[in-house]
Amino acid sequence: MTGQDPDAPSNGPDPASSVGAGLLDEDMGPSSALAHLYRGEIHRMKFWRERLDQTTNWVVLLIAAVLTWAFSSASNPHYVLLVGDAAVVMFLFVEARRYRAYDLWRSRVRDLQQNVWAVGLDPEMEVEETAWRERLARDYRTPVLKISTEEALAHRLRRVYFALFTVLNGAWLLRVTAFGETPWPESAAVGSVSGLVVTAAVAGLHVVAAVVCCRPRTWHTEGELLDEDLRERSDR
């Protein structure tokens, strides 16, 4: 029997170098590995979606408690509503951070939906972006958040938080004008801070939130519901 030198180079291809080769070839179709990958991304996206909803539920409960306490007695100080404002701002930043993580998983799901499942369901459809595999592989190797904190804040303000701020600040304005023991602006004072200064601060913060919420921007988040033509397509 002829021995073989273990140090001699192998004539066949290195198995490690061909890992993933042909994973999405047309004659092979989406493999079971890809199906498991897609299911895993859907699970992570759902998990972070639930964390977003959980934060929003906390904020709604907080606002309900603050409003109930502030209007339960005329002797209760109005600035508890401002404390509620500060707490909602804190939750907004927490939710914006969670939304950036949620967008990371959702962007991968959208890549797979647009370039694998949509094309697989319609054989006549062509992949619009040929470099999507390289981009997705790079994202798996080195994950990067796709959107900035400011864009995440704007998205959550548009969806939920600007309406909540409007309700809370409107309740505060009603509290210091219609239910104040002294006329406005004295009724809006907090300690040694005059009512005009407090009112200007509340109004200024509300305007800042409106600017962040509504200013024109290019959205980088991977959300199909952000498509402006979505309603038009549904009406056809």
pLDDT tens column, 21-66: 555 554 545 567 778 888 888 899 899 889 889 999 999 999 999 9
The rounded distance, in Å, linking the Cα atoms of 190 and 188 is 7
* 3 state SS for the chain: CCCCCCCCCCCCCCHHHHCCCCCCCCCCCCCHHHHHHHHHHHHHHHHHHHHHHHHHHHHHHHHHHHHHHHCCCCCCCCHHHHHHHHHHHHHHHHHHHHHHHHHHHHHHHHHHHHHHHHHHHCCCCCCCCCCHHHHHHHHHHCCCCCCCHHHHHHHHHHHHHHHHHHHHHHHHHHHHHCCCCCCCCHHHCECCECHHHHHHHHHHHHHHHHHHHHCCCCCCCCCHHHCCCHHHHHCC
pLDDT score at 87: 94
pLDDT score at 135: 86
Assess contact for 41 and 110: CB atoms under 8 A.
no
Of the listed ranges 77-81, 96-100, 166-170, 200-204, the one predicted with least confidence = 77-81
Say which amino acid occupies 54.
Answer: Q
φ and ψ at residue 3, rounded to 5 degrees: -75, 160
- Does pLDDT of 95 surpass 50? yes
Of the listed ranges 24-28, 92-96, 111-115, 128-132, the one predicted with least confidence = 24-28
The rounded distance, in Å, linking the Cα atoms of 188 and 199 is 7
Q: What is the mean pLDDT of residues 100-105?
A: 90
Q: Tell me: the pLDDT tens digits for 147-204?
A: 999 999 999 999 999 999 999 999 999 888 887 677 888 888 888 888 899 999 999 9
The percentage of the chain sitting over the pLDDT mark of 90, rounded to a whole number, equals: 34
pLDDT score at 18: 44
Burial 145-168 (b: 16+ CB within 10 A, else e): ebbeeebbbbbbbeebbbebbeeb
The percentage of the chain sitting over the pLDDT mark of 70, rounded to a whole number, equals: 80
| 145, 212, 213 from 216: Cα distances, Å | 21, 9, 9
